[in-house]
Amino acid sequence: MGLIGSSIVRLLPLAPRFVVRWVANRYVAGETLDHALSVIREIDSQGACFTVDVLGEEISSLDETHFFIREYEAVLDAIADHNIDANISIKPTAFGLLVDLGAALDNIEGIIRKASEHDIFVRLDMEDSRVTQATIDVLHSMHERGLSNVGVAIQGRLHRTLDDISTITASLGPDADLRVCKGIYLEPSDISQTDYKSIVKATNDAIDAAIEGGAYVAIASHDDPVIEHSLQSVSSAGMGPGIDDPRPNAPTRGAGKGPGYEFQFLLGVRGDVRRSLAKKGHRTRVYLPYGVRWYEYSMRRLRENPEVAIHITKALLLPWKNRR
Taking Cα atoms as reference points, which of 132, 80, 90, 96 lies closest to residue 112? 90
d(CA 121, CA 279): 24
Contacts of residue 143, Cβ cutoff 8 Å, sequence gap at least 6? 150, 171, 172, 175
Residue with more model confidence, 323 or 181: 181
Band of the pLDDT at 288, cuts 50, 70, 90?
Answer: very high
Per-residue pLDDT, 269:
86
Chain centroid offset of residue 212 CA:
21
Q: What residue spans define the domains of the chain?
A: 29-290
The answer to whether residue 186 scores a pLDDT higher than 90 is no
Compute φ and ψ for 148, nearest 5 degrees. -105, -5
Per-residue pLDDT, 1:
47
User: How far is residue 60 from each of residues 32, 98, 99, 218, 224, measured CA to CA in Å?
Assistant: 23, 8, 7, 31, 39
CATH 3.20.20.220 is the classification of domain 29-290:
yes
Q: Give the CA count within 13 Å in the CB-facing half-sphere of 40.
A: 25
d(CA 75, CA 34): 10
Q: Largest Cα–Cα distance in the chain?
A: 55
